[in-house]
A and B are shown apart, each in its own frame.
Chain A
């Protein structure tokens, strides 16, 4: 058989291979995942009131000097509820302060939610109108940002943190910050 005759079959096999690759890619990649343009850029400016003392507020500048984790959550968000036990278990193990951003939420409902499920956060900021969330490029809670001591965003996780994703991505990212520290 000549190569010329095989050519259509080779072409067909290539197209099938492309299809299989596409299907695999779809299964292993989250199609809703949008990479953040904020990685390795300074975290956006914000000044937000505290959930448990609305007369006090915290700004980006107040948090400089120490790395921090920002976890965007809301009492209305079902996935946040799935993530919550993981945060409760890991909050002390991260070795960096965990800051909550109560996003587009009613503060009183949030307080009740935290009273019921526990509060893993060191500090909780309130973003009722969602403006700070937009500045951080949040499009679906929960989302988690790792910000270094210089106020630069180093890592972002979209969706709920799981023990697997923490071990695979977040903990190595925190470890990298530690090795950089003078």
Chain B
């Protein structure tokens, strides 16, 4: 009985995958891999935490078809990304490009890291200045 249920679940999962990924007529495996790679770097605009490759949204299907069509036309990955960015903003890219608007996004974490390191260093230096004999006062500090 368990086995039957298991088989059923696997079949169901496979069925779902077949519906999610609409069949596109790739001419070879390399083209399919390129398409998968590209659509994994692009965000679905409707369900925003999914990439274009995984999304089942109607618009994502249209955009996948558009990406496929542009690949057939011999467009490069960068040209296809540019096409989408000019319509949907940098937001479609999972890997945001570096420009004035994204400085905080790119360097913010490092700024926080530097701030934390500065604070830790200051505390350590202060502690090392306290002579060992007055251990009780340093304990009281915490």
A residues bordering B, Cβ < 8 Å?
4-5, 31-32, 34-38, 104, 129-131, 134-137, 139-140
For A131, list chain B residues within 8 Å (CB).
66
CB of B87 within 8 A of chain A?
yes
For B63, list chain A residues within 8 Å (CB).
134
Bound Cα distance A137, B84 (Å): 8
CB of B117 within 8 A of chain A?
no
The 7 closest A-B pairs by CB, nearest first: A139-B45, A137-B87, A34-B91, A37-B89, A130-B62, A137-B88, A34-B89
Chain B window 52-63, contacts with chain A (Cβ cutoff 8 Å), 1 for yes, 0 for no: 000000110011
- Given A37-B86, A104-B62, A139-B88; 5 other pairs, CB 8 A cutoff: A31-B48, A32-B48, A34-B88, A130-B59, A137-B88
Q: Which residue of B lies closest to A31 (CB)?
A: B48
B residues bordering A, Cβ < 8 Å?
45-46, 48, 58-59, 62-63, 66, 85-89, 91, 126, 141
For B45, list chain A residues within 8 Å (CB).
34, 139-140
- Whether A134 pairs with B58 at a CB distance below 8 angstroms is no
CB-contact partner of A140 in B46, B62, B85, under 8 A? B46
From DSSP, what is the main secondary structure of chain B's interface residues?
helix
Known: A34-B45, A104-B58, A139-B46. A134 touches B87 (CB 8 A): yes
Known: A34-B88, A34-B89. A139 touches B59 (CB 8 A): yes
Q: Which residue of A lies closest to B59 (CB)?
A: A139
For A134, list chain B residues within 8 Å (CB).
62-63, 66, 87
Bound Cα distance A31, B48 (Å): 9
What are 18 A-B contacts with C-beta separation under 8 Å?
A5-B141, A31-B48, A32-B48, A34-B91, A35-B89, A37-B87, A104-B62, A129-B62, A130-B62, A134-B62, A134-B63, A137-B87, A139-B45, A139-B46, A139-B59, A139-B88, A140-B45, A140-B59
